[in-house]
A = this chain, B = another copy of it.
Amino acid sequence: MPLTKTIHRPTLHEELVERLRNLVVEDTLKPGEKVPEKDLCEAFGVSRTPLREALKVLASEGLVVLQANRGARVAEVTREELEKTFPIIAVLEELAGELACQNLSDAEIEVIETRHAAMVKAYLAKDRKTYFQANQDIHNALIEGACNDILETHHRLLASRVRRARFMANLSDDRWAQAIQEHEQMMEKLRVRDAAGLGQLMKTHMMNKYAAHIRALEAVSEDAAEG
């Protein structure tokens, strides 16, 4: 058994992929915005070569769009894209739920149980920030619990594209209550390690989240039409 993890010295382009990805996902670089190589090079203190390498990777992940001779733009998050992405995330979560049921240790389930309690508490206190964090932690734990790094990678790629729509912000009270209830059911399945059951719930949980988002979007566009 190795005493030390093999040290990993990140290259510039790796570092830049990470940083730029964050800028896009955190919405610092807004959808549709141009990604000016020159400015970013100055900001990061690197030359264009590694930055451009990073942009190519981000483009292959779908976070930016490259146009020949016209540089890079931050990819837009279209409704069409959400429509296409959510069902995929849903089936990946379904699979993750099934695998997590099989792979998680009792101790790990206990940890999730704790987080779940924290999330419910945050819900009752209407503390959105804490709720979101706990929610995220639980989902991450389940995905990681699947012990499938490839699944994790693809889930992350899709989730990061969707997260940019940041609809978490307009979570209705109804949907919030429903989400909590769904999480309760998920925990029940997890406790008895009902793999298929948990998978099914996670899938519908994701699709319900999607449906709620669409409703919110439509409410917004109606408001716009009225106003």
Residues of A at under 8 Å CB distance from B?
Answer: 9-11, 13, 17, 49, 52-54, 56-57, 59-62, 66, 68, 81, 84-85, 87-88, 91-92, 94-95, 99, 148-151, 153-154, 157-158
Contact indicator A88/B92 (Cβ below 8 Å): yes
CA distance A53 to B61 in the complex (A): 14
Complex CA–CA separation, A91 to B155 (angstroms)? 13
Closest residue on chain B to residue A154 by CB atoms = B154
The minimal Cβ–Cβ distance linking A57 to chain B, given in whole angstroms, is 5
Main SS at interface, chain A: helix
Measured in the bound complex, the distance between the Cα atoms of B53 and A56 in whole Å is: 7
A68–B6 Cα distance when bound, in Å, is: 13
Copies, count: 2
* Least CB distance, A181 to chain B, in whole angstroms: 25
- The distance in angstroms between the C-alpha atoms of A5 and B87, with both chains bound, is 28
Task: Let me know if A88 and B84 touch, CB within 8 A.
Answer: no
Q: Known interface pairs A13-B56, A60-B57, A154-B154. Does A91 touch B81 (Cβ–Cβ under 8 Å)?
A: no
**CB <8 Å contact, A150 and B84:** yes
Contact A88 B81 (CB under 8 A): no
B60 touches A148 (CB 8 A): no
Q: Is the CB of A11 within 8 A of B68?
A: yes
Given contacts A49-B49, A68-B11, contact A150 B88 (CB under 8 A): yes
Closest chain B CB from A52 CB (angstroms): 7
When the two chains form their complex, are residues B95 and A87 in contact, meaning their CB atoms are under 8 A apart? yes
Residues of B within 8 A of A148 (CB): 84, 87-88
A94: B residues at CB distance < 8 A: 91
The reply to whether B85 and A150 contact each other, CB–CB distance below 8 Å, is yes
Interchain CA distance A104-B13 in the complex, whole Å: 42
Q: Is B88 a contact partner of A95 (Cβ separation < 8 A)?
A: yes
Give every chain B residue within 8 A of A92 (Cβ-Cβ): 88, 91
Q: For A13, what are the chain B residues with a Cβ–Cβ distance below 8 Å?
A: 56
Partner of A53, one of B11, B53, B154, B158: B53
Whether the Cβ atoms of A84 and B11 lie closer than 8 Å is no
18 contacts between A and B (CB under 8 A): A11-B66, A11-B68, A17-B60, A49-B49, A53-B56, A57-B60, A60-B60, A60-B61, A84-B151, A87-B95, A87-B99, A87-B151, A88-B92, A88-B95, A88-B154, A150-B158, A154-B154, A154-B157
